[in-house]
Amino acid sequence: MINWNIAESQRISQNAQNLILLRRFELPFCRRWGIDPDLIDMPENGMRPRAVAEAYELISSGEPRAAIESIQFSESGELVVTVSA
């Protein structure tokens, strides 16, 4: 859910998170935004480095105000991105 009453730094973090949550081709007029859905079926050892690289590329091009602090995988295998404004 989008919170419209947040500070600018929180908005930047929210924008970066939204980019990562999208699947590529999901957004009609920005089809290049989002993570490649083919990563889902890849073996884990090939998927992780590619997902990290895509996250860096997406955030740096889609939300240049965000400074990426870390990109990791949780124990459950979810991509966790930490950014600051």
- DSSP for 3-63? -SS--HHHHHHHHHHHHHHSBTT-STT-TT-SB-GGGGGS-HHHHHHHHHHHHHHHHHHH-
Over 70: is that where the pLDDT of 1 sits?
no
Mean pLDDT of 8-35: 86
Q: Write down the pLDDT at residue 81.
A: 82
Which pair of structure tokens corresponds to residue 4? 């419209």
pTM of the model: 0.78
Q: Write down the pLDDT at residue 2.
A: 66
Q: Write down the pLDDT at residue 77.
A: 79
Over 70: is that where the pLDDT of 52 sits?
yes
Q: How far is the C-alpha of 17 from the C-alpha of 8, rounded, in Å?
A: 14
Chain segment 69-83, per-residue pLDDT in tens: 988 888 887 888 888
